[in-house]
Amino acid sequence: MTLTVVLAVVSWQVAVDGPLLGLDTAVRDGVRHLRRAIGSAPLNHLGVALSDLGGALVAVPVLLGCAGLAARLARRDGRPRWWVPVPVAVVAAVLVPLLVVPAKTWFARPGPYGVPLAGDQWGWYPSGHTATSSIAYGTAALLLARVLPAAAGRLGAAAALVCLGVGAGLVWSDFHWLLDVVASWCLAGLLLLGLHLLLPRLLPDRPRPAD
């Protein structure tokens, strides 16, 4: 419920150019001031590198690889429908552009540099890299946790840290407004919550042997 409310409020404010966008401006200006004050080239390169973890060329292969591993482990354990992780991963990867690109086109929000959108640009809201990383790494963690329940906590923590790093890198590097990132986190959170609830049915436990 909280994720839905936050996503709806942020989207409304972006659509009407509301006062909440002042937070974006304040964060952008604060980050720029801090970046100039520190003047660290390695830190700036780190921000770009973290941002790149949200690109489809990195996140999608990781998702598919983890799905393949989850399917292999499920088959080894004798689970029904052991192959399910692979189509789940494909659907998750396809959902990102299907959801994000129309939203970017509709909101047509300029980026943090304030330059008007060119004719071939979709807009900055919501953040595609944030959505890609959150959905890809989050789905990968859920699939692996389903077949490796003892590692569920560590997998979830690792995915969360990577996704936070991507968001921080995007804001630090002036690639996105803060609210672009927050909206994509909310969107991904809703999808991952639905997947978490569905996975026990899609990929059930191994049948217990009869007494």
pLDDT tens digits for range 105-114: 999 899 898 7
Q: Which amino acid is at 48?
A: V
Q: What is the CA radius of gyration of the chain?
A: 19
Give the residue-averaged pLDDT of 85-98.
Answer: 95
Chain mean pLDDT for the chain: 93
pLDDT band, residue 211 (cuts 50/70/90): very low
Give the residue-averaged pLDDT of 81-96.
Answer: 95
pLDDT in tens, 158-192: 999 999 999 999 999 999 999 999 999 999 999 99
The distance in angstroms from the start CA to the end CA of the chain is 43
Q: Which amino acid is at 202?
A: L
The helix or strand, by DSSP H or E, that contains position 12, with its residue range, turns out to be: helix 2-16
Query: Reduced to 3 states, what is the DSSP secondary structure of residue 203?
Result: coil
Distance CA 144, CA 40 (A): 37
pLDDT band, residue 198 (cuts 50/70/90): very high
Domains and CATH numbers, the chain: 2-202 (1.20.144)
pLDDT band, residue 122 (cuts 50/70/90): confident
